[in-house]
Amino acid sequence: MPRKADHLARRKQLADALMRLAASQGLEAVSLRHVAAEAGVSTGMVQHYFRTKDEMMTFALDMVMSNAQERITAEAGAGQPLGPAELIRTLMIQILPLDETRRLEGHVSLAFLAYAAVKPAIGDGLRDSSGQMRAFLADQIRAVQATSDNAPRTDPLHAATALLALVDGLGIHVLGRHYSGEEAVAALDAYLGLLFGSTPDPAGAPATSGG
Amino acid sequence: MPRKADHLARRKQLADALMRLAASQGLEAVSLRHVAAEAGVSTGMVQHYFRTKDEMMTFALDMVMSNAQERITAEAGAGQPLGPAELIRTLMIQILPLDETRRLEGHVSLAFLAYAAVKPAIGDGLRDSSGQMRAFLADQIRAVQATSDNAPRTDPLHAATALLALVDGLGIHVLGRHYSGEEAVAALDAYLGLLFGSTPDPAGAPATSGG
DNA sequence: ACGATTACATTGCAGTCGTATTGCAAAGGG
DNA sequence: CCCTTTGCAATACGACTGCAATGTAATCGT
The pLDDT value recorded for residue A179 is 96
Average pLDDT estimate for A60-77: 88
Q: How far is the alpha carbon of A7 from chain B, nearest alpha carbon, in Å?
A: 30
pLDDT band at B91 (very low <50, low <70, confident <90, very high): very high
Q: Are A96 and A188 in contact (CB under 8 A)?
A: yes
pLDDT tens per residue, range B18-74: 999 998 998 999 999 999 999 999 999 999 999 999 999 999 999 998 988 888 888
DSSP chain A: --S---HHHHHHHHHHHHHHHHHHH-GGG--HHHHHHHHTS-HHHHHHH-SSHHHHHHHHHHHHHHHHHHHHHHHHHSSSPPPHHHHHHHHHHHHS--SHHHHHHHHHHHHHHHHHHH-HHHHHHHHHHHHHHHHHHHHHHHHHHHH-SSS----HHHHHHHHHHHHHHHHHHHHTTSS-HHHHHHHHHHHHHHHHTS-----S-------
A173-190 residues labelled b (16+ CB within 10 A) or e (exposed): bbbbebbebbbbbbbbbb
Mean pLDDT over each residue of chain B, to the nearest integer: 89
Q: Which residue is nearest to nucleotide D26 (CA to C1')?
A: B3
> Which residue would you say has higher pLDDT here, B89 or A121?
B89
Out of A115, A120, A176, the one facing B116 most closely (by C-beta) is A176
Average pLDDT estimate for A41-51: 97
pLDDT band at B204 (very low <50, low <70, confident <90, very high): very low
Question: Which residue from B25, B172, B81 is spatially nearest to A176, judged by alpha carbons?
Answer: B172
Instruction: Among A24, A96, A110, A191, pick the best mutation site for testing chain B contact (most B Cβ within 10 A).
Output: A191
Distance B1 CA to D25 C1' (A): 15
Q: Are B60 and B15 in contact (CB under 8 A)?
A: yes
pLDDT tens per residue, range A92-123: 999 999 998 899 889 989 988 888 888 888 88
CA distance to A183, B12, B126, B129, per residue, from B7 (Å): 43, 9, 25, 26
Q: Are B38 and B56 in contact (CB under 8 A)?
A: no
The pLDDT value recorded for residue B72 is 86
What is the number of other CB atoms lying within 10 angstroms of the CB of residue B24? 12
Share of chain A above pLDDT 90, in %: 63
Euclidean distance between CA atoms B162 and B156, whole angstroms: 10
Euclidean distance between CA atoms A31 and B136, whole angstroms: 43
Share of chain A above pLDDT 70, in %: 92
Q: Which residues contact A75 (CB under 8 A, 6 or more apart)?
A: A90, A91, A94
Q: Are B158 and A190 in contact (CB under 8 A)?
A: yes
The pLDDT value recorded for residue A33 is 97
Contact flag A117-B26 (C-beta cutoff 8 Å): yes
The pLDDT value recorded for residue A210 is 38
Residues from chain B that touch A186, judged by Cβ atoms under 8 A, are 155, 158, 161
Average pLDDT estimate for A174-200: 92
Q: What angle do CA A208, A209, A211 make, to 5 degrees?
A: 160
CA distance to A36, A147, B70, per residue, from A190 (Å): 45, 20, 30
Average pLDDT estimate for A63-91: 87
The pLDDT value recorded for residue B2 is 61
B6 touches strand D (CB under 7 A): no
Q: Which residue is nearest to nucleotide C8 (CA to C1')?
A: B45
pLDDT tens per residue, range A141-171: 999 999 988 889 999 999 999 999 999 999 9
DSSP state of B9: H
Contact flag B169-A173 (C-beta cutoff 8 Å): no
Euclidean distance between CA atoms A23 and A124, whole angstroms: 22
pLDDT band at B199 (very low <50, low <70, confident <90, very high): low
Q: Are A64 and A16 in contact (CB under 8 A)?
A: no
- Tell me the domains of chain A and their CATH numbers: 7-196 (1.10.357.10)
The pLDDT value recorded for residue B3 is 65
Which residue in chain B has the smallest CA separation from A131?
B178
